[in-house]
Amino acid sequence: MNERSFIVAASMATKRNNVLLDRREQILEAALLCFAKCGFHQTSMHDISSEAGISVGLIYRYFKNKEEVIAALAAEHKKNIADLLDRAGKAPTLLEAMEILFTSHCSKTSPQIISAFVVDLFAEASRNPRVAKILRNVVKTKADGVAELIARSPEGRKLAPWLEAHQIAEMIFAVNDGTMMRSVFRASSASVSRQRERQLDVARTLWRLLFSRTSHANGHN
Amino acid sequence: MNERSFIVAASMATKRNNVLLDRREQILEAALLCFAKCGFHQTSMHDISSEAGISVGLIYRYFKNKEEVIAALAAEHKKNIADLLDRAGKAPTLLEAMEILFTSHCSKTSPQIISAFVVDLFAEASRNPRVAKILRNVVKTKADGVAELIARSPEGRKLAPWLEAHQIAEMIFAVNDGTMMRSVFRASSASVSRQRERQLDVARTLWRLLFSRTSHANGHN
Amino acid sequence: MNERSFIVAASMATKRNNVLLDRREQILEAALLCFAKCGFHQTSMHDISSEAGISVGLIYRYFKNKEEVIAALAAEHKKNIADLLDRAGKAPTLLEAMEILFTSHCSKTSPQIISAFVVDLFAEASRNPRVAKILRNVVKTKADGVAELIARSPEGRKLAPWLEAHQIAEMIFAVNDGTMMRSVFRASSASVSRQRERQLDVARTLWRLLFSRTSHANGHN
Amino acid sequence: MNERSFIVAASMATKRNNVLLDRREQILEAALLCFAKCGFHQTSMHDISSEAGISVGLIYRYFKNKEEVIAALAAEHKKNIADLLDRAGKAPTLLEAMEILFTSHCSKTSPQIISAFVVDLFAEASRNPRVAKILRNVVKTKADGVAELIARSPEGRKLAPWLEAHQIAEMIFAVNDGTMMRSVFRASSASVSRQRERQLDVARTLWRLLFSRTSHANGHN
DNA sequence: CATGAATGAGATTTCATTCAT
DNA sequence: AATGAATGAAATCTCATTCAT
């Protein structure tokens, strides 16, 4: 095997690897859609394969069983949350960071779909230990991430000083999750943006509560 | 038919009615337990009948099908929430009213069970229009109820005056639902009370935020 | 409940019990036929249900899964062998006892079917521990039974005295099993009796070998 | 094309042929192992390919389908039996010939494996005409071979003279097959040799029966 | 020559629902 | 009123076989 053929082989191996990853991604995308539409236990493997445009059997080359598909999506959710926190951490002000956190439930897919899926994920967590483990981690990551965000930003330290960072963080995410939970009601596509508006409204209410004290204090300066 | 026999017949009819209602209640209680433990779609009708100590067929005398059982439980949930609001409405102060709202997810059954069930209910709402309708109503009842509570209480009108009553109400319930969503992680029975502690902690954080402004303002008077 | 109604209830319970047992028997009969025709792992549960004239689901009310059906048939085989030994034990002479052992592989069903099933059973035993356990027991029961038969019959004690009873018993059953193993070749129905003839021929050869010594010895008397 | 290149081409063709044969052999070896371990119909083509360390597709270059693999192994079994008879035919005495027949179920592989496979083969024969044909031939080859062995050896003609050669031959193989059938019970590796001992014990019992008469008769000379 | 991704029919098993008793 | 046997559709998962690379 000369250098050239090595390179060719390597590039082929890479390509093959990409194809494998693409398939996985394709299946997960289809599964997410189906799960959001019908729920885990009312989605059949056939539904997923149809949505993905492949045969049922092929799913089993990439996932050992249905539970693994769910777990993989839960893991992906975890990664998305981590990314979100990363992005929020790079925001110049705390306000902008929170805006990022609240305006994107998740990056790629429609928020409607994501929230239906996530509520199902929490429901599943109450009986599936594997999903529970992942979600517990997600919850902790979120809480810690925001607590740190608050603690290390200059505005954060001044805001509502009679509360600890982690208390504020828990509040923020309680509001976040609660809002998401309500968003499962399928809104007519026309009012999706209006629903979004209302969600942001709640978020802004929270911000005002958190910052009013500060601005009030500032007003005394 | 003389008067006596009429009374007997009436009392028999009443008794019969009570038996019917008891059976219904018995089935719903069993169903709630099963649903909380396994989820709607992983609970079989046989599971419910076993839990209730009756035969499968009997369930179908009281409910047309599985979906009706779910819907009936959703309706019961709605009634429980209405009762809760009633009780809260009778509290002497707004603070006490909120305490009632936050400390009891539901009366009879363990909060762990209730929250697992309610999260499932929200998940179900995203695809089952009937459940969605009931839950939408629940959400509206809660929001309106609290908004009214705030609007008509003397403290309420002073608290966070730059926010409308309905905005505050939405916040309160977002926090309420968000905390509940996290409580699905089956905690070891030992730490159930500790978990409850933390949930109340979040609620108290919110209260302080809501009332701080007022007390602060009051402090300046 | 008076005596009459008790009797009625009891008789109904008995009847119901019989129905249950009949169903079980019906399923096992169908399964035996299918297994003999196609082998355990090429017989589908649907094949069995069709043969029995019932629905697939019903099988699962009586057997937890396919393996339980196989195990139940293995257990029945064990019982049949025990019955056979019982009958042989009641024969007046050892010769007649052996005739019983050799001429009936099993009572009710055609020997063709039984032998195909039993060979499958042995094949299964080499990987299915549960079936192995049952068959080991069958083999031991057979060996012990015949050894005792020989040991306690007057002719038996004289026959081939340089051999121990258990050695002779093992021989007899090795021949028995070996003959059965060959009988799996589906003979045209015309030659079934001829095949049976040849099997008996082998058995008689064995008998002559075992008794020749005796008759020879007797010849010297 | 010069002589050299012809030779090279020829040797390459031979080599290629050898490779082909080797692959076939490699696949059959793997298949035998898998079949013995799991049975024909519980062994997947993937199992075989894994065991052989090749891809699934490659099996189909050498065998049309799964059934052909089974048939090829049945044919190999036939060849092994023929070899065994050949070797037995070259033994100086009948006793030694029989020892050869009884002590080696098959040359290369462990007897445990072979017997599990052969019992499966017989089970298969009861429904697969192709396998049945091969096994019928095997049975006939064995019977004829031993009958001839007996008929043409000097001791053979004297032994149990009241029986025909073919009757004795059938007996011998009935015992042979019967013992093999029992050997399917997976013995703990420790007691494999002890199990082997017991099998030989049965064989020796048979021998003594067959020869006792002669030696007895001889004793009278 | 060799691979293994892909297919899709088919196997096992479950379960909502009905209905004779 | 109450039972639970019976049905059969549907779900999950497997596997022999093909074929593009």
pLDDT in tens, B156-215: 777 777 788 888 888 888 888 888 888 888 666 667 777 777 777 888 888 888 876 544
Instruction: Indicate the burial class of B129 (C-beta count within 10 angstroms; 0-12, 13-18, 19 or more).
Output: exposed
* Residue A128 Cβ under 7 A from any strand F atom: no
| Range with the largest mean pLDDT of B81-90, C210-219, D37-46 | D37-46
Q: Closest CB to B171: pick one of A37, A205, A212.
A: A205
**Token pair recorded at residue B137:** 């109503």
Determine the Cα–Cα distance for residues C169 and C184; give it in Å rounded to an integer.
Answer: 24
Residue A117 has pLDDT above 90, yes or no: yes
Of A residues 58-97, those with CB within 7 angstroms of nucleic strand E are 58, 61
Nearest residue to E8 via alpha carbon and C1': A55
Residue in A209, A200, A140, A147 with CA at minimum distance from that of residue B205: A209
State the sign of the Cα–Cα–Cα–Cα dihedral B45, B47, B49, B52. Answer: negative
Q: Tell me what pLDDT residue B215 has.
A: 42
Q: What is the pLDDT of residues D111-125, one digit of tens each?
A: 778 889 999 999 999
Nearest residue to F15 via alpha carbon and C1': D44
Average pLDDT, chain C: 83
* Residue A50 Cβ under 7 A from any strand F atom: no
SS3 D189: helix
Q: Are A171 and B212 in contact (CB < 8 Å)?
A: no
Q: Tell me what pLDDT residue C96 has.
A: 83
Cβ pair A45, A66 in contact under 8 A: yes
Q: How confident is the model at residue C6 (pLDDT cuts 50, 70, 90)?
A: low
Residues of A in contact with B181 (CB under 8 A): 119, 122, 177-178, 181
Q: Closest CB to A163: pick one of B173, B176, B205.
A: B205
> CA of C206, closest CA in chain D: separation in Å?
7
**d(CA C170, C1' F16) / Å:** 42
Residues of C in contact with D39 (CB under 8 A): 41, 123-124, 126-127
Q: Are A202 and B174 in contact (CB < 8 Å)?
A: yes
Q: Tell me what pLDDT residue C153 has.
A: 84
Which DSSP category does C186 fall into?
-
Q: What is the pLDDT of residues B164-176, one digit of tens each?
A: 888 888 888 888 8
Residues of C in contact with D178 (CB under 8 A): 173-179, 181
Residue C79 has pLDDT above 90, yes or no: yes
For residues B131-144, give the mean pLDDT: 93
Q: Closest CB to C178: pick one of D177, D198, D208.
A: D177
Nearest residue to F11 via alpha carbon and C1': A44
Nearest residue to E16 via alpha carbon and C1': B45
| Range with the largest mean pLDDT of C144-148, C196-200, D102-106 | C144-148
**d(CA A44, C1' E3) / Å:** 31
Q: What is the pLDDT of residues A150-161, one digit of tens each?
A: 888 888 777 777
Q: Are D174 and C171 in contact (CB < 8 Å)?
A: no
Q: How confident is the model at residue C14 (pLDDT cuts 50, 70, 90)?
A: low
**Token pair recorded at residue C189:** 């129905």
Chain E bases near protein CB atoms (7 A cut-off): 1-20
| Angle, helix A3-38 to helix A66-89, in steps of 10 degrees | 100
Q: What is the pLDDT of residues D137-146, one digit of tens each?
A: 999 999 899 9
* Residue A57 Cβ under 7 A from any strand E atom: yes
Residues of D in contact with C181 (CB under 8 A): 119, 122, 177-178, 181
Counted residue by residue, chain B has a size of 221
Q: Are B136 and A175 in contact (CB < 8 Å)?
A: no
**d(CA A17, C1' F21) / Å:** 15
Nearest residue to F14 via alpha carbon and C1': A57
* Residue D66 Cβ under 7 A from any strand F atom: yes
Residue A212 has pLDDT above 70, yes or no: no
Q: What is the pLDDT of residues D137-193, one digit of tens each?
A: 999 999 899 999 888 888 877 777 778 888 888 888 888 888 888 888 866 666 777
Chain F bases near protein CB atoms (7 A cut-off): 1-20
* Residue C65 Cβ under 7 A from any strand E atom: yes
Q: Closest CB to B177: pick one of A41, A178, A208.
A: A178
Q: Tell me what pLDDT residue A55 has.
A: 97
Q: Indicate which of A34, A185, A215, A220 best probes the interface with B, i.e. most B CBs within 10 Å of its own CB.
A: A185
Q: Tell me what pLDDT residue A9 has.
A: 58
pTM exceeding the 0.85 threshold for the entire prediction: yes
Say how far residue B55 (Cα) sits from the centre of its chain: 28
Long-range contact pairs involving C184-188 (C-beta distance under 8 Å, separation at least 24): C184/C115, C184/C116, C184/C119, C184/D122, C184/D123, C184/D125, C184/D126, C185/D125, C185/D126, C185/D132, C185/D135, C185/D136, C186/C112, C186/D126, C186/D132, C187/C112
**d(CA D111, C1' F6) / Å:** 49
Dihedral angle of Cα D163, D169, D170, D174, to the nearest 10 degrees: 120
Q: How confident is the model at residue D17 (pLDDT cuts 50, 70, 90)?
A: low
Q: State yes or no: chains D and C have 3 or more CB pairs below 8 A.
A: yes
Beta-carbon-side half-sphere exposure of residue D11 (alpha carbons within 13 Å): 6
Q: Are C124 and D176 in contact (CB < 8 Å)?
A: no
Residue D36 has pLDDT above 90, yes or no: yes
* Residue C56 Cβ under 7 A from any strand F atom: yes
- Comparing alpha-carbon positions, the chain A residue that sits nearest to B159 is A209
Q: Which has more confidence, C23 or B111?
A: C23
SS3 D65: coil
For the ranges A142-156, B112-126, D28-42, the lowest mean pLDDT is seen at A142-156
Q: Closest CB to C126: pick one of D119, D173, D209.
A: D119
Q: What is the pLDDT of residues D86-110, one digit of tens each?
A: 999 999 988 888 878 877 654 456 7
> CA of D28, closest CA in chain C: separation in Å?
20
Q: How confident is the model at residue A183 (pLDDT cuts 50, 70, 90)?
A: confident
Long-range contact pairs involving D18-25 (C-beta distance under 8 Å, separation at least 24): D20/D62, D23/D54, D23/D58, D23/D61, D23/D62, D24/D62, D24/D72
Share of chain D above pLDDT 70, in %: 81
Nearest residue to F4 via alpha carbon and C1': B55
Q: How many Å from the N-terminal Cα to the C-terminal Cα in chain A?
A: 76
**Token pair recorded at residue C214:** 């005796």
Q: Are D186 and C42 in contact (CB < 8 Å)?
A: no
- Comparing alpha-carbon positions, the chain C residue that sits nearest to D113 is C126
For residues B76-104, give the mean pLDDT: 87
Q: Are A39 and B206 in contact (CB < 8 Å)?
A: no
Q: How confident is the model at residue C106 (pLDDT cuts 50, 70, 90)?
A: very low
For the ranges A30-34, A66-70, A147-151, the lowest mean pLDDT is seen at A147-151
Residues of B in contact with A42 (CB under 8 A): 41, 127
Going from the N-terminus, what domains does chain D have, and what CATH number goes with each? 1-63 (1.10.10.60), 65-218 (1.10.357.10)
State the sign of the Cα–Cα–Cα–Cα dihedral C100, C102, C103, C107. Answer: positive
Determine the Cα–Cα distance for residues B196 and B180; give it in Å rounded to an integer.
Answer: 10
Q: Are B42 and A127 in contact (CB < 8 Å)?
A: yes
* Residue A17 Cβ under 7 A from any strand E atom: no
Q: Closest CB to C206: pick one of D39, D136, D171.
A: D171
Q: Are D119 and C122 in contact (CB < 8 Å)?
A: yes
Q: Are C163 and D205 in contact (CB < 8 Å)?
A: yes
For residues C109-131, give the mean pLDDT: 90
Cβ pair A180, A115 in contact under 8 A: yes
Residue B66 has pLDDT above 70, yes or no: yes
Q: How confident is the model at residue B6 (pLDDT cuts 50, 70, 90)?
A: low
For residues A36-49, give the mean pLDDT: 97
Q: Tell me what pLDDT residue C150 has.
A: 87
Cβ pair B177, A181 in contact under 8 A: yes
Which chains reach chain C with 3 or more Cβ–Cβ distances below 8 angstroms?
D
Number of H helices, E strands in chain D: 10, 0
Q: What angle do CA A76, A81, A85 make, to 5 degrees?
A: 145
Q: How confident is the model at residue A74 (pLDDT cuts 50, 70, 90)?
A: very high
Considering all CA atoms of chain D, what is the largest pairwise distance in Å, rounded to the nearest integer? Answer: 78
Q: Tell me what pLDDT residue C160 has.
A: 74
* Ranges assigned E (strand) in chain A: none
Residue B81 has pLDDT above 80, yes or no: yes
Q: Tell me what pLDDT residue B53 has.
A: 96
Residue in D114, D113, D36, D128 with CA at minimum distance from that of residue D81: D114
Q: Are B177 and A176 in contact (CB < 8 Å)?
A: no
**d(CA C59, C1' F4) / Å:** 15
Inter-chain Cβ pairs, chain A and chain B, closer than 8 A: 150
